[in-house]
């Protein structure tokens, strides 16, 4: 089974180096790795040139693709889709490091589950193991305000756009997949990442995978045997104020786009926004609270545009 790996990147050559090293060290190698560079420096291109020969020796094509269209994660992912040749396409963030049997277990899964269209693995980091009290508080607030929480054998998308996940060590059906996901190439005949979501593209993975789920309800899976480390690099991040605005504008847009518009779902969505404020108060993130209220004001001011899927009022501020 031929695998194409798509790695969008933005000014993170050090993190990308570790990611690429983990790919070429796999027990089962992909046929190609496509690095989609949205950055402005030349370090990423130089890194690819340095590693190209080593990849070639192992029979893997390492291809550098410059994203000259716009700095957008969704655009970069779609470019990767269009340039990929494998039967399955693996998406990785540039700050991810794979466990050595990642693609071995991936291929095994798709061979044993021919009706599956998509799969996600599990990050090795576990908040519960690191800080039990922090985990407990997050779970309580997550359940109370529908912000996201762990539940047995379920990976759901909530009306608030929060998500649930399972810590159980078994393969289960999912309503959403994380950014580190693998899809059969054939699914892209019907689906693409939403390019209205710009730059950091908050929520793009939930949006894409949940649309697949709604059309093919039994096609997405969590496979806990497929493991990776997500380093959550701070390099190349957009300013916190911009992220706060993006989260609220894009979240509301996705609420109207992929969540059924029932009275109960609208109440849950509003309740969830309140919960985010309370969560920030508990964490003493007063600057973040101000950003959130400013973002709520923008959402209310442009509510009609957001409901109609018109995000130009916001996206032009990101250029």
Give exposure, 12-26, as e/b (b: 16+ Cβ within 10 Å).
bbebbbbbbebbbeb
Residue 87 lies in a domain: yes
Tokens of 221: 């899976």
Domain with 48 in it: 3-126+167-230
Q: Do both 262 and 184 map to the same domain?
A: no
Q: What is the pLDDT along the chain (319 residues), one digit of tens a residue?
A: 999 999 999 999 999 999 999 999 999 999 999 999 999 889 999 999 999 999 999 999 999 999 999 989 999 999 999 999 999 999 999 999 999 999 999 999 999 999 999 999 999 864 445 567 778 888 999 999 999 999 999 999 999 999 999 988 999 999 999 989 999 999 999 999 999 999 999 999 999 999 999 999 999 999 999 999 999 888 878 888 999 999 999 999 999 999 999 999 999 999 999 999 999 999 899 999 999 999 999 999 999 999 999 999 999 998 7
Q: Do both 46 and 188 map to the same domain?
A: yes
Give the model's pLDDT for residue 130: 54
Give the model's pLDDT for residue 297: 97
Angle between helices 204-215 and 73-83 (to 10 degrees): 50
For the chain, the domain total comes to: 2
Residue 197 lies in a domain: yes
Q: Which residue has the tokens 């496979």?
A: 223
Q: Do both 256 and 198 map to the same domain?
A: no
Residue 133 lies in a domain: no
Give the model's pLDDT for residue 235: 84
Residue 37 lies in a domain: yes
Give the whole-angstrom CA distance, residue 134 versus residue 131.
Answer: 5
Q: Do both 174 and 307 map to the same domain?
A: no
Q: What is the CATH number of the domain that holds 207?
A: 3.90.550.10
Domain end position, chosen among 206, 230, 254:
230
Domain end position, chosen among 211, 230, 249:
230
Domain end position, chosen among 185, 202, 230:
230
Q: Do both 172 and 273 map to the same domain?
A: no
């Amino acid at each position: 089974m031929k695998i194409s790996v798509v790695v969008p990147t933005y000014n993170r050559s050090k993190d990308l180096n570790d990611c690429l090293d983990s790919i070429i060290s796999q027990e089962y190698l992909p046929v190609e790795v496509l690095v989609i560079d949205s950055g402005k420096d030349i370090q990423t291109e130089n890194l690819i040139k340095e590693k190209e020969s080593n990849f070639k020796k192992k029979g893997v094509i390492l291809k550098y693709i410059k994203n000259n269209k716009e700095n957008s994660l969704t655009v970069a992912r779609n470019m990767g889709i269009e340039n990929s040749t494998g039967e399955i396409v693996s998406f990785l963030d540039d700050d991810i490091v794979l466990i050595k049997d990642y693609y071995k277990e991936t291929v095994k899964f798709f061979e044993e589950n021919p009706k599956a269209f998509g799969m996600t693995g599990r990050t090795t980091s576990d908040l519960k193991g690191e800080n039990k009290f922090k985990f407990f508080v997050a779970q309580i607030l997550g359940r109370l305000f529908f912000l996201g929480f762990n539940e047995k054998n379920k990976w759901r998308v909530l009306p608030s756009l929060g998500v649930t996940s399972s810590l159980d060590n078994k393969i289960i059906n999912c309503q959403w997949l994380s950014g580190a996901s693998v899809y059969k190439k054939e699914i892209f005949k019907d689906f693409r990442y939403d390019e209205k979501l710009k730059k950091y593209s908050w929520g793009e993975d939930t949006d894409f995978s949940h649309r697949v789920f709604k059309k093919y309800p039994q096609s997405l899976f969590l496979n806990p045997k497929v493991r990776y480390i997500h380093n959550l690099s701070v390099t190349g991040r957009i300013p916190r104020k911009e992220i706060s605005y993006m989260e609220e504008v894009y979240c509301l847009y996705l609420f109207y786009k992929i969540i059924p518009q029932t009275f109960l779902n609208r109440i849950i969505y509003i309740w969830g926004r309140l919960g985010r404020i309370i969560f920030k108060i508990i964490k003493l993130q007063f600057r973040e609270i101000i950003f959130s209220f400013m973002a709520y004001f923008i959402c209310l001011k442009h509510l009609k545009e957001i409901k109609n899927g018109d995000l130009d009022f916001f996206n032009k501020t990101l250029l």
